[in-house]
Structure 1
Amino acid sequence: MALKAAAMALTGIAIALLVLYGADVAVSMGNADKEGFLPLDDMQRGMGLGGPAIVLPIIAFFIAIREKSKGLGGLIIISGILILIGGIAMIATPAPEGVERSPIMLFAPAIIQLALGAIKIVKS
């Protein structure tokens, strides 16, 4: 039970980070300075908010691998959907000069999380 709660907390943190990431990007796109409400550039934002948001649900899945929890599976799927939405938004906007975006690198973490969430729900 404690493992399931810890895993759900980790996934909740990941979802909060993704929402914060998306909000900051939205604010930065809406102003002329291209700055969000957090004092971070694109790389810092991606590494500081996006990186943990990708890794935490995967860790949560393996922490609670023996625990049955449809709720955790749902949270992992929500995290994957948020990453998928972010990837679609990145493709829809033009890349800055000198930056190449790989669609596989944008969607692979989302697909992995969606699969892990589905496995968790099916096994519960």
Structure 2
Amino acid sequence: MVSIPHVLSGISIILLTIYGVDVIVGGGGAGEGFLPFDAMTRGIGFGFPPIILSFIAFFMSRNPPYKGLGIMLIITGILIIIGGAISMSSAGESENTARMAGEGGGLIAVGAIIAALGGIKIKKSLSN
């Protein structure tokens, strides 16, 4: 069954995938991918909304047990963790090393929280 939380989680995965592919194609540089944005604009437009949408999807679906939604949240969390790890690994190449490392660590933590929420959703669906 497709519900609003599933749609929100799907949008999150799509936005993170677009973000990741743009970073890979452009090498992380401003306007070098297929999106004409700098790193901050790209992060605000394609990185921040999936985080918010994932939390909304989890809390909207508190009562019904959605195993599929749990899997989607875990995928979203993993994509965010990968983005944080890439951000931390590229911090050594940047003049803003401390800021980039902090942002990468924050992304890894948020990704882990979202993946954990997905695990909780799966566990609840299996117990019902």
- Report the TM-score, using the length of structure 2 for normalisation: 0.86
The answer to whether the 8 Å contact 2:28/2:39 transfers is no
Distance 2:6 2:95 in 1: 39
| 1:1-124 superposed matches below 5 A | 5-29=3-27, 35-93=32-90, 94-99=92-97, 100=99, 101-102=101-102, 103-124=104-125
1:77-113 per-position Cα deviation (integer Å, ceiling 9, x unaligned): 0000111111111122235213522143121210110
Structure of higher RCO (CA pairs closer than 8 Å, 6+ residues apart): 1
CA gap of 1:43–1:92, structure 2 versus 1, over 3 A, is same
What letter matches 2:114 in structure 1? Q
Structure 1 residue 50 displacement after superposition: 0.2
2:96 match: secondary structure = coil
* Closer/same/farther in 2, CA of residues 118 and 9 from structure 1, 3 Å limit: same
TM-score with structure 1 setting the length: 0.88
Query: Is the contact between residue 25 and residue 34 of structure 2 (CA under 8 Å) also seen in structure 1?
Result: yes
Q: CA RMSD in A?
A: 1.9
Which runs of at least 4 in structure 1 moved beyond 6 Å after TM superposition?
A: none
Give the gaps of 5 or more residues in structure 1: none
Give the fraction of aligned pairs with identical amino acids, expressed as a percent.
Answer: 46
1:53–1:95 distance in 2 versus 1, CA, 3 Å: farther
